[in-house]
Structure 1
Amino acid sequence: MAAEHDEVPLNAIRVFVAIAREGSVTRAASTLGTTQSSVSRYLAVLQDYLGADLVERRGRRSELTEFGRLFVNTVAEPLDTVCFTAKRMRRRTQADGNRIVVRTSLSTFAHSFLIPNLSAFSAEMGGVIVDVISSLSPPTSSDDFDILITRDLSVIEPADDWEIYNETLVCVGSPNHVTGRSLSIVRSMPILNITSRPDILPTWLRAMNLSTKDIKPGARYDHNYLALPAVMTGKCLLVTPEILVGDLVRGGVLQVLPGSRTPSGMQYRAYAVDRSDKPEIARAFCRWLARLCKKAAILESG
């Protein structure tokens, strides 16, 4: 039993580093893809092993103890090195070398625009498999990806980057409800709210010389891809990046309100990280995506 107790709880250390980086058990659980109770159990195991508290409650908040800060500062970097090395060596020994991993913070962009076009890239590149993962958390050098597509995150490691899209906003609705109507319809028809992009509606309202008092607020959705079915079938409007609804507009499923188009000031970029073990495929993907977005922007302006 004593020998078993002396084994270093490596999984618990990894969980504690996540708690320290994320600032809470809840966010650490989300980052690790597990439950809060599981994270709390790992924390208890590590505290028991070390014989010291690592986290203390301050009102409703949790903060690292002095010992906890000392411990995480000591183990975090070596842990990152171990994880990074293991992932790189694992990928190098995989039989399937014709695969890249694309990570993105733009879930609706991936759902509505990127993924439907991936078969074309695969065909162009002789059957390359593209894995797509979505995360809003800042990437680290130990994360397993070849390409990052983002509008709001930055890469802290060497990478080539491409500007792929300067975001343009439009207000759309079902043709059944907006055909023949002017921009003034926003005063009477609800506009859906996207909580993951709280910047969109205020930016658009300023460009239209409107305020929140001039519109009728509608239902809230976490992401644009959840709101799209609602605006396609309901009596409501959605202010959204035009690239997300371009195919729906051209197919007659949605209609852009005249005069509602405006730049948001946000820029989508693609990064091909230097540590990728398939750098040429990663760079080819970024060049392909830049061409695809340029073509979409031309269709939008036309």
Structure 2
Amino acid sequence: MAAENDEVPLNAIRVFVTIAREGSVTRAASALGITQSSVSRYLAVLQDYFGTDLVERRGRRSELTQFGRLFASTVAESLDTVCFTAKRMRRRNRSGVNRIVVRTSLSTFAHSFLIPNLQAFSAEMDGVVVDVISSLSPPTSCDNFDILITRDLSVIEPADDWVIYNEELVCVGSPHHVAGKTLSIVRSMPILNITSRPDILPTWLRAMNLTAKDIESGARYDHNYLALPAAITGKCLLVVPEIIVADLVRGGALHVIPGSRAPSGMQYRAYSVDRSDNPEIGRAFCRWIARLCKRAASVEAA
């Protein structure tokens, strides 16, 4: 059949490269957002085109054949280049508006601090549009972003970077329950757990000379922004980076327990990648967010 049809099945190649990267048909289907049966059909088309197997069964597992490994390693980088170039050209063709994409692994920081201040940056930069996306995955050089804001990730490509915030932790709660109380209240009120930041609570406890046995473990939430409403309305405490609750504290929705401030040892960094379509705007954004965080930290310290 391959001899009768010489048209290269590009969609099938893209699907096969995803299978090779993800390690299974199931994970490839999830990454591509299509069904497993569709992935299997694309794989069959490509194997038919070559006239040989690209994947073979090994017990319950599937592995690439030698031919499959050779083909995947040969075309994967070229396919990435095509996809990346297409995305950049698409962005460049969008109505001529200055636009940057900010990617961050700090979803609560983006929700509570970054996004509420973006209008000020846009006004300062004559209407620049700032798109914000969040991901906990390590970025690649093919991902579509101009700036990365992160605490625990880094870029693997040329980029300028800034330290924008040295993280300080505080213990907060509803003023109705904690105002006027001392640090000893942490022994009698449950402290919420954040699964995306399992480091925060142990770090803070060590700084306070406490152990997990000294506190009552409260409910679990994936992210701080999900836990904040519980801390505001419930009889519970939350140990959280101070920068993301500063406005809530100033507005009276939360109260910081005296003596609960402690450095986490973590730094927030902003990276402006060299491949950006708007590198000058990207660097201006990083300088702006660094200034904004510095002002916020100064207010917290005061």
TM-score, normalized by length of structure 2?
Answer: 0.90
Q: How many percent of aligned residue pairs carry the same amino acid?
A: 78
Q: Which residue of 2 aligns with 1:173?
A: 173
Counterpart mapping for 1:254-265 below 5 A: 254-265=254-265
Change (3 A) 1:246 1:41: same
Q: Which residue of 2 aligns with 1:54?
A: 55
Counterpart mapping for 1:11-160 below 5 A: 11-23=11-23, 28=28, 31-32=31-32, 34=33, 38-39=35-36, 41-50=38-47, 51-54=52-55, 56=57, 64-160=64-160
Give 1:188 shift: 1.7
- Alignment partners' CA distance in 1, 2:107 and 2:78: 32
Q: Is 1:16–1:43's contact at 8 Å kept on the other side of the alignment?
A: no
Give the partner amino acid of 1:162: W
**Residue by residue, what CA displacement relative to the aligned partner does 1:121-180 show, whole Å, maximum 9, x if unpaired?**
011111111011111111111111111111111111111111101111111100011112
Radius of gyration: which is bigger?
2
Unaligned 5+ runs, structure 2? none
- Alignment partners' CA distance in 1, 2:246 and 2:23: 39
Is the partner of 1:141 in helix, strand or coil?
coil
Is the partner of 1:138 in helix, strand or coil?
coil
Is the partner of 2:180 in helix, strand or coil?
coil
How much is the aligned-residue C-alpha RMSD, in angstroms? Answer: 2.4
Give 1:29 shift: 5.5
Is the partner of 1:275 in helix, strand or coil?
coil
Give the partner amino acid of 2:117: N
Give the partner amino acid of 1:292: L
Q: Is 1:207–1:262's contact at 8 Å kept on the other side of the alignment?
A: yes
- Alignment partners' CA distance in 1, 2:264 and 2:4: 58
Give 1:201 shift: 1.0
- Alignment partners' CA distance in 2, 1:46 and 1:52: 9
Give the partner amino acid of 2:151: R
Unaligned 5+ runs, structure 1? none
Q: Does residue 1:296 correspond to 2:293, yes or no?
A: no
Give 1:85 shift: 1.6
Q: Does residue 1:219 correspond to 2:216, yes or no?
A: no
Change (3 A) 1:18 1:190: farther
Counterpart mapping for 1:202-217 below 5 A: 202-217=202-217
